[in-house]
A and B are shown apart, each in its own frame.
Chain A
Amino acid sequence: MKRIINGIVNENPVLVLLLGLCSALAITNNFENSYIMGICVTIVLICSNLIVSLISKYVTKNVEIPVYILIISTLVTVLEILLKEYVNPLYKVLGIYLPLIVVNCIVLGRALSVASKENVKNSVLDGLGVGLGYTVVLMVLGLIREVLGNETITIMKEISNITHHEIILKINFHSDLFPINIFNKPAGAFITLACLLALFNYIRGGNKNESN
């Protein structure tokens, strides 16, 4: 439990370590994409941490990185094939950002810094914690950007061929200011993440002062 919370708060991949920003910025223009991407990364993280911690005894330092990258890219390819087969619309929306999980520094970073040293249980929990931390940030980003930029919250649309439900919530601000189109655009992603980071720094800074 401590490990999971550690992954979400103290070592949050996006807000503290600033890793994996590519996908965090690119696909968060919509709530659904955000949490699906988060789940995908979490699955890859847990699986790669599991495999790496199982085989790390047999891998020498020199070939560590190539071996781990190969494991991660195989996992991502499996995920790609599954998504293409079962949720094709989603596969098209995520596009190149799905294979880019391979070079998402979080996955390789966790494999090198945690999974290759710790036992299996701790590695899997660490993967789960960090993955959840990533998912939460992505969900918050997606929620803010979609509500401000589109006045909607898409919960199930592209995955509706599995769930057989389409849920899109509408929010009306009754103001000419909304929807603010900029939040759908790349610039909006930068602004939202910048504000989220500043807020996080502010809260953490406050906590530090109190403890002092």
Chain B
Amino acid sequence: MNLINICLTALLTENVVLTKFLGICPFIGTSKKRSNAIYMGISVMLVVTLSSIITWCLYKYLLVPTETEYLKTVLFILVIASLVQLLEILLKKYLNKIHQVLGLYLPLITTNCAVLGIVLLNITNNYSFVEMLVYSISSSLGFTFVIYLFSSMREKIDKNDIPASFKGHPIALLTAAIMALLFARYL
């Protein structure tokens, strides 16, 4: 029951993008086309899940026993950066087709707040291993879901007549505001 709860809140009511504002940069930046959004989402899901598992284990079995919890920020960002590098090299070597599609988005992920944010939330929320796994998969799925919906809307919005000063980013943010209202059930 608890697991379903974690999954649904991470996916909908406490969506990482719309309530915690993680990953806003790619959300606004790369979501102009639906295909971009999907590939970005898949890359994020891959990196978030893998780095959550690694950082959770490192935190529990390395930092806590040695009482060096304050090093978590440095350690986590190192893990994420090297994981992204490693994934890129591995994909290039063994799955070249996937690399051609995702290659553009992978380097951007190191500085994606969503990854570091979710990894840190796993620790601050004190999740067990299974809970951590469910949380990171469902919140990155939530990210993909929202970024896909958003990009489909933006493709339509761009064709409409908008006041000049609202063109581009402001109208995108207003759309995001309406989505945030819907997702958090305030309407």
Instruction: Give the interface of A toward B (CB within 8 A).
Output: 18-19, 21-23, 25-26, 65-66, 69-70, 73-74, 76-77, 80-81, 95-96, 99-100, 102-105, 108, 182, 185-191, 193-195, 197-199, 201-202, 205
Contact = CB atoms under 8 A, between A and B. Distances in A.
A202 to B, nearest CB: 4
A73 B180 contact: no
Interface string B65-80: 0000011111001100
B92 interface: no
8 contacts: A65-B110, A66-B81, A80-B73, A99-B72, A100-B117, A194-B174, A198-B166, A201-B164
A190 B25 contact: no
Nearest to B118: A96
Interface string B48-85: 00000000000000000000001111100110010000
B113 interface: yes
A205 B164 CA distance: 9
B20 interface: yes
A22 B21 contact: yes
Interface residues of B, number: 45
Contacts of A189: 21
Main secondary structure of the interface of A (DSSP, over half): helix
A26 B21 contact: yes
Main secondary structure of the interface of B (DSSP, over half): helix
Contact of A194 (B22, B78, B170): B170
Contact of A22 (B24, B72, B167): B24
A131 to B, nearest CB: 18
Nearest to A66: B81
B47 to A, nearest CB: 13
Interface in B107-144: 110-113, 115-117, 120-121, 124
B120 A99 contact: yes
B181 to A, nearest CB: 5
Contacts of B111: 103, 105, 108
Contact of B170 (A22, A66, A80, A197): A197
Most-contacted residue by chain B among A23, A25, A103, A188 (CB, 10 A) = A103
